[in-house]
Structure 1
């Protein structure tokens, strides 16, 4: 998913109801009605809230951020100054997961490291849409331009790095460099998983990132053509300001936190807001998280993407996560009752 691309506009998008598409409902509930609220680590959530709340624009959020910086009791802080609001748009809730890939690479090309990560060329910034994925990877346009950031050893992992939008490259000497979203060619994203389903290769419930990767590797020629089915192409930039031990940058240009950051649709959920997650499924999750990221596929009031972490194990876990449940946004009290005036006590 491409999250950093949306940072500039996401911070400016107000909380709006897409009335032309769906009827939006706002329901205020009590903290006692949140399943598992009392057992959560509220201080962990408050620490993550403090990472990004200074970047929120509205006075009510900034006032609460200033209070949070006084190190109050975390649970009391949330219960005193917020109200949980269930925002629904007629669509069922869906929770998925995302992660930060870690690839093997080099700052110099070799027989092993043959697949480049590129910075965005000026032509792509000026022409929208620009060249397709096929044209970029098979044509002469990117050669001898000095746009390579690094070279990696696996084109399939590179494709999925573009989907995630950020990652780490492990160099031969063990050093890590981090890369983040640096632009795109302007073509719409097309799902290769959906294409495999359309072709009858897999049924919908069988498709995951690992399944797709394995199929492409077993079928190298057909697999390369399958990757070309997605004309969207992502360029990168080096992010040397973020230490390797911290998470990648999210849509608020701050590091995201494993298990406490969630990507949301900022048309419904303000970036930086606390959200209460009640995710069902084999690994149920009841947890207070912070909406610090966005994603091109994260659309809707009850759509959320949970940051699982970095590396292969996190990737496998994220790829298996697709569960129902519900999500409530913790709104400042006045803002909550402005959204749902009928709920005034």
Structure 2
């Protein structure tokens, strides 16, 4: 799934956590590090070798904090990615490591194991065995099997930006009429023959573009702003009113674009001095006051997204769309990243704080987005529906990331 970001935040995404007494946690970690993890390691395939680790990058001393049991021995050398450098640290550096409800992240990790990537494929057997383990057991396994690396930009900056995205849930109809006037299109047959294809404005106004899209509508929406949000998110759920009077819930998944660059309509409003609030509520407020300028605003973004229809079974409905890794996204535990900074399938510790949400948790790098670029950059998948959309539409705050890589 390829999406643009909707940077603006919301109601807090709930951060479930389990509270454990320090003495119990220490004993359990020690026991499971020595026994359970050792047993699992003995019956599994060893992890594949890690990428080359240039030694030119200095390791910063860890902050003064309570050591995590089992986290002993010398630190490895730093690692380099195309757009980031990874600095090894102690587990104690990870904010909230003792408190996260790891079983929620484990569900996302098991999804990653459906399309495993090296060197994590060798760990998937153990990951599955630990799916019903306690958080203490899972934490001990992480410490024994993985090494945390602080992700930094090339100049050593560990600070970055967190935004969020979601899956819109929209009412739609199979045929235009009764207020349903905005089409959701499949890719046209001529999409690959012309690069770039027509712009958004041309698609909506030129007869030749309209002819190429004749009969390609999956469904019709009421609101061009809703359609724009769907295009930005790259996927959505539609409650479709069928001709026979029934209602069908389907997913429309990303199937391609017209190859024009994404331009933020909110940024255009700010640059023109029309608003100081470029959140989606602010954009809607401006449109309510200037309805005759709707097309003018929408056409400032020439990028147009095409979709494919997918059945939405009860099991599918429990997860989001498939991300760029090829696995379904898990609300609150999947992130989109710049793959030149963090490889798909990497477990990542995420720390972000702001006026709207505090997040210290294990997440999985399972997706990407055209606006998700840079060393310390992530888009947080919040789920589907209005509440998830409110969070995705407003979240924009500081970010730190740690990659968890096999030892």
TM-score band by shorter chain is 0.7 to 0.9
**After the TM superposition, which segments of 4 or more aligned residues of structure 1 sit over 4 Å from their partners?**
none
TM-score computed with the length of structure 1 as normaliser: 0.86
The structural deviation recorded for 1:241 is: 5.7
- Corresponding residue for 2:383? 309
| Whole-angstrom CA distance in 2 between matches of 1:16 and 1:28 | 11
Question: Out of 142, 149, 154, which is 2:210 matched to?
Answer: 142
| Whole-angstrom CA distance in 1 between matches of 2:289 and 2:361 | 39
- Corresponding residue for 1:330? 404
- Corresponding residue for 2:48? none
Question: Out of 187, 196, 201, which is 1:129 matched to?
Answer: 196
Question: Out of 65, 89, 104, which is 1:29 matched to?
Answer: 89
Question: Out of 158, 161, 168, which is 1:101 matched to?
Answer: 168
Asked if 1:285 corresponds to 2:353, the answer is no
Question: Out of 152, 169, 176, which is 1:88 matched to?
Answer: 152
For structure 1, the residue ranges without an aligned partner over 5 or more in a row are: 5-13, 334-345
SS in 1 for 2:308: strand
- Of 38-47 and 227-236, deviating more is 38-47
- Corresponding residue for 1:50? 110
Question: Out of 259, 262, 265, which is 1:192 matched to?
Answer: 265
SS in 1 for 2:238: strand
Summarize deviations over 1:273-329 as a string: whole Å, max 9, x none: 111111010221111111111111001111011111111221111111111131111
Alignment check: 8 A CA contact 1:87 1:302 kept: yes
SS in 1 for 2:110: helix
SS in 1 for 2:210: coil
- Of 152-161 and 135-144, deviating more is 135-144
Pairs aligned (count): 317
- Corresponding residue for 1:171? 240
- Corresponding residue for 2:335? 262
- Corresponding residue for 2:2? 2
Question: Out of 62, 66, 69, which is 2:121 matched to?
Answer: 62
The structural deviation recorded for 1:53 is: 2.5
Summarize deviations over 1:126-158 as a string: whole Å, max 9, x none: 221011100101122234721010011111100
The structural deviation recorded for 1:174 is: 4.1
SS in 1 for 2:184: strand
Structure 2 matches for 1:214-229, cutoff 5 A? Answer: 214-229=285-300
The structural deviation recorded for 1:101 is: 0.6
The structural deviation recorded for 1:210 is: 2.0
> Which structure has the larger Rg?
2
| Whole-angstrom CA distance in 2 between matches of 1:226 and 1:3 | 20
Summarize deviations over 1:73-114 as a string: whole Å, max 9, x none: 322221111111112114631011111111110112223211
| Whole-angstrom CA distance in 1 between matches of 2:197 and 2:305 | 12
- Corresponding residue for 2:58? none
- Of 61-70 and 285-294, deviating more is 61-70
Alignment check: 8 A CA contact 1:100 1:311 kept: yes
TM-score computed with the length of structure 2 as normaliser: 0.74
The structural deviation recorded for 1:244 is: 2.8
Root mean square deviation, CA, Å: 2.1
- Corresponding residue for 2:283? 212
| Whole-angstrom CA distance in 1 between matches of 2:172 and 2:312 | 20
